[in-house]
């Protein structure tokens, strides 16, 4: 074989070897498609984990439930669908055995809370402060407001048959009830409604989750009336 033919054979072999190494036996376009898909899936996985961690941190430091819209505005670079997806993953992770907290939907948002079964250990942390119970009259008034809101004081008194100004003041001080406006009738009396704290305390996502009135009234004071009085009351609700 002449030197020229030998050189041509070596060149062909080098080209074929380089093609195999670079493309791993696949066409160039197919190899690039696989690389792009792999890279995208890895980036997406990292983003989901990071998003879940950010949401967990935000909810951990919040003292109240946080709506999805608020979470989206805090993050700024993700969509509502991505936030909801990450919240679902976080909920599933925290629901596993061996976790002491859980993610719940309450009062129109999300909140991290401790699991009920670990309550006895939490009570050992500090000596519990004496909590004042909500009176039966206050509980009845709260039930009327919850189911009939918005409602004015005269309507509450008509149902209960007793004066309720003191009870309403107590409910406002405990941030269970607030002023929601004035009724468009002569005298424009103040209308009352429940608060976001009311939903959070009773573990309700919204008012549509209120139990039947009989069940609400049957909840004993030991279950739903141990509400601490705030150090600072709300002036005029």
Whether the predicted model's global pTM rises above the 0.75 cut: no
Q: Measured on CA atoms in the order 225, 227, 229, 235, is the torsion positive or negative?
A: negative
Both tokens of 74, joined, read: 């805090």
pLDDT tier at 14, thresholds 50, 70, 90: very low
Note down the domain range covering 61: 27-118
Least confident stretch, 60-69, 144-153, 228-237: 228-237
> Is the residue at 4 inside a domain?
no
Quote the pLDDT of residue 218.
58
CATH of the domain at 97: 1.10.10.10
Query: Is 186 found in the same domain as 112?
Result: no
Higher pLDDT, 164 or 38: 164
Give the orientation angle of helix 153-160 with respect to helix 136-148, to 10 degrees: 120
Which of 118, 151, 171 represents a domain boundary (last residue)?
118
> Is the residue at 229 inside a domain?
no
Query: Is 142 found in the same domain as 89?
Result: no
Query: Is 90 found in the same domain as 33?
Result: yes
> Is the residue at 20 inside a domain?
no
Higher pLDDT, 98 or 230: 98
> Is the residue at 77 inside a domain?
yes
Which of 62, 88, 118 represents a domain boundary (last residue)?
118
Which of 64, 87, 118 represents a domain boundary (last residue)?
118
> Is the residue at 190 inside a domain?
yes
Which of 14-18, 67-71, 210-214 is modeled with the greatest confidence? 67-71
Could you give the CA distance from residue 105 to residue 79 in angstroms, rounded to a whole number?
19
pLDDT tier at 151, thresholds 50, 70, 90: very high
pLDDT tier at 208, thresholds 50, 70, 90: confident
CB-CB contact of 111 with 66 (8 Å): yes
Number of domains composing the chain? 2
Query: Is 108 found in the same domain as 46?
Result: yes
> Is the residue at 66 inside a domain?
yes
**Percent of the chain having pLDDT more than 90?**
31
For the stretch 58-91, pLDDT in tens is: 999 988 899 999 999 998 888 899 999 999 999 9
Query: Is 113 found in the same domain as 51?
Result: yes
Could you give the CA distance from residue 191 to residue 168 in angstroms, rounded to a whole number?
11
Higher pLDDT, 205 or 155: 155
> Is the residue at 171 inside a domain?
yes
């Amino acid at each position: 074989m002449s030197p020229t033919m030998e050189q041509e054979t070596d060149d062909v072999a080098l080209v074929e070897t380089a093609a195999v190494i670079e493309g791993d036996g696949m066409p160039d376009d197919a190899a690039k498609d696989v690389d792009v898909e792999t890279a995208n899936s890895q980036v997406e996985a990292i983003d989901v984990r990071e998003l879940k961690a950010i949401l967990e941190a935000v909810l951990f430091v919040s003292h109240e439930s946080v709506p999805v819209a608020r979470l989206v505005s805090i993050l700024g670079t993700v969509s509502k669908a991505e936030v909801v997806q990450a919240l679902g993953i976080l909920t599933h992770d925290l629901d596993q055995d061996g976790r002491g907290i859980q993610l719940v939907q309450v009062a129109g948002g999300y909140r991290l809370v401790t699991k009920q079964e670990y309550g006895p250990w939490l009570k050992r942390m500090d000596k519990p402060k004496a909590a004042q119970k909500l009176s039966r009259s206050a509980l009845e008034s709260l039930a009327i407001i919850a189911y009939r809101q918005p409602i004015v004081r005269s309507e509450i008194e008509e149902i209960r048959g007793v004066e309720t100004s003191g009870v309403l003041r107590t409910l406002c001080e405990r941030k269970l009830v607030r002023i929601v406006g004035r009724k468009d009738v002569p005298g424009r009396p103040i209308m009352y409604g429940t608060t976001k704290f009311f939903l959070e305390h009773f573990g309700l996502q919204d008012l549509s989750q209120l139990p039947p009135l009989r069940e609400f009234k049957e909840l004993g004071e030991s279950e739903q009336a141990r509400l601490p009085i705030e150090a600072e009351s709300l002036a005029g609700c």
